[in-house]
């Protein structure tokens, strides 16, 4: 049984990754799961300098999901290279670094700094809905997405994944723009912008008023968008959005994802990632499948 998948020349032992921002750099979850069992660890977004993030409350629960408005708090690339990269290097898993910035120059700065680092891929965050500058500002119009993607591709020494937002009218058009600009892969979906109001206090629950919604409640939206993107482009897609178990992950693969990432459900069950890996293997065994890649885009009709 072969669970390997290859994306932009990088081979992963299985198609299961962590979604950026839900797993730190793996340190906190290494108490619960053996990181060696994961296809890749995708790190929390890192910028060229430390970011303080948003005021609290930063998280809220909603029916079947949650809202977050962390605002990309991160220690900056210097600390990240000194502390987080060496930590992840101890494990037999691929390292994908999520990159964020306020300006194109910020992104390019981080991408260049990572050029000689032992990281396997870069994931460019042009879809965080919780910061005032940067991030989603680059990911909601095809022209700006094309522009930032092509500039990053010129500087990047590792393959580039563009992480797309669901907060757009036409995901196929956005996917095509990233592909045309040279993106090696896409990941989707980032969170869906949401809001929660405390009716007793007549106040917004989140200090930021709006937050990104994640969790099982958004899964059907994510599966649909992965499918539409997979129909529109040839580059591989990493699918995510509410994956709670292997069945959910397989849905994404069938819709056209080459790999999947577990996000908010890490908070609900810290063992989710490894359970998804094992569940995919059990599914393959049950249906006598040789290669996990046979599942990719295999939905019929």
Using CB under 8 A as the binding rule, the residues of this chain from 61 to 80 that contact other proteins are: 61, 63-66, 68, 70, 73, 75-76, 79
21 binds other proteins (CB under 8 A): yes
Structure tokens at 268: 């609900």
Contact 178, 161 (CB under 8 A): no
**Residue spans of beta strands (DSSP E) within 72-111:** 94-99
Q: Which of 20, 127, 266, 273 binds other proteins (CB under 8 A)?
A: 266
- Min CB(171)–other proteins separation in Å: 25
The answer to whether residue 100 is catalytic is: no
Contact 22, 264 (CB under 8 A): yes
User: Which residues does residue 260 pair with via DSSP β-bridges, in sequence order?
Assistant: 16, 239
20 binds other proteins (CB under 8 A): no
Of the candidates 113, 126, 117, the residue with the CA atom closest to the CA atom of residue 45: 126
Structure tokens at 37: 């069992």
58 binds other proteins (CB under 8 A): yes
219 binds other proteins (CB under 8 A): no
Structure tokens at 57: 């409350």
Angle, helices 219-232 vs 246-255, to 10°: value is 30
35, 70, 128, 181: the active-site residue: 128
- Min CB(212)–other proteins separation in Å: 12
51 binds other proteins (CB under 8 A): yes
Catalytic residue list: 128
**Residue ranges binding other proteins (CB under 8 A):** 21-24, 28-29, 31-32, 44, 50-53, 56-61, 63-66, 68, 70, 73, 75-76, 79, 215-216, 264-271
């Amino acid at each position: 049984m072969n669970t390997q998948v290859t994306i932009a020349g990088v081979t992963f032992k299985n198609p299961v990754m962590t979604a950026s921002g839900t797993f730190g750099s793996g340190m906190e979850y290494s108490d619960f799961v053996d990181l060696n069992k994961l296809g890749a660890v995708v790190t929390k977004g890192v910028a060229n300098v430390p970011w303080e993030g948003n005021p609290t409350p930063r998280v809220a629960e909603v029916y079947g999901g949650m809202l977050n408005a962390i605002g990309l708090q991160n220690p900056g690339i210097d600390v990240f290279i000194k502390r987080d990269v060496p930590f992840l290097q101890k494990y037999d898993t691929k390292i994908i670094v999520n990159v964020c910035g306020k300006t194109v120059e910020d992104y390019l700065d981080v991408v260049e700094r990572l050029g000689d680092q032992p990281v396997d891929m870069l994931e460019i965050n042009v879809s965080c809905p919780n910061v005032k500058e940067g991030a989603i500002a680059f990911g909601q119009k095809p022209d700006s997405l094309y522009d930032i993607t092509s500039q990053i591709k010129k500087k990047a020494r590792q393959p580039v994944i563009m992480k797309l937002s669901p907060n757009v009218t036409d995901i196929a058009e956005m996917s095509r723009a990233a592909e045309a600009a040279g993106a090696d892969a896409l990941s989707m979906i980032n969170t869906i912008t949401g809001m929660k109001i405390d009716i007793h206090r007549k106040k917004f629950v989140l200090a930021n008023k709006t937050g990104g919604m994640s969790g099982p409640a958004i899964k059907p939206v994510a599966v649909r968008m992965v499918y539409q993107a997979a129909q529109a482009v040839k580059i591989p897609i990493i699918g995510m959005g509410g994956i709670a178990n292997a069945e959910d992950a397989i849905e994404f693969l069938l819709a056209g994802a080459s790999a999947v990432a577990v996000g908010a459900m890490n908070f609900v069950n810290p063992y989710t990632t490894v359970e998804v890996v094992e569940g995919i293997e059990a599914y393959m065994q049950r249906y006598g499948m040789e290669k996990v890649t046979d599942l990719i885009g295999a939905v019929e009709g």
